Amino acid sequence: MNDGGNSNSVLIDEDLFCYIVEKYDGISRMMELSQAANDKSSYISRHIYDINSRGLSMLSNQKTV
């Protein structure tokens, strides 16, 4: 099969292919989890003042019986 020397195809073993796909899938899931954690932490850091003031407000509204 000669197409003028422009062939860039590479044959790999099926087991190697499965290994690469599994590793990539694991890395991409880990990156998604990491990004979700970063999003949650940045949301909390942006709203920490509101969360604290709301908590203090709830505490100040409580009465001892």
10-27 per-position pLDDT tens digit: 888 899 888 888 888 888
Q: Is there a domain that residue 2 lies in?
A: no
Q: Give the whole-angstrom CA distance, residue 46 versus residue 28.
A: 27
Residue range 1-5: mean pLDDT, rounded? 52
3-state secondary structure the chain: CCCCCCCCCCCCCHHHHHHHHHHHHHHHHHHHHHHHHHHHHHHHHHHHHHHHHHHHHHHHCCCCC
The count of structural domains within the chain is 1
Q: Is there a domain that residue 3 lies in?
A: no
pLDDT of res. 44? 84
Taking the alpha carbons of 44, 47, 53, 55 in that order, is the dihedral positive or negative? negative
Threshold 0.75, pTM exceeds:
no
Domain membership of residue 19 as a residue range: 12-51
Q: Is there a domain that residue 65 lies in?
A: no
pLDDT of res. 1? 46
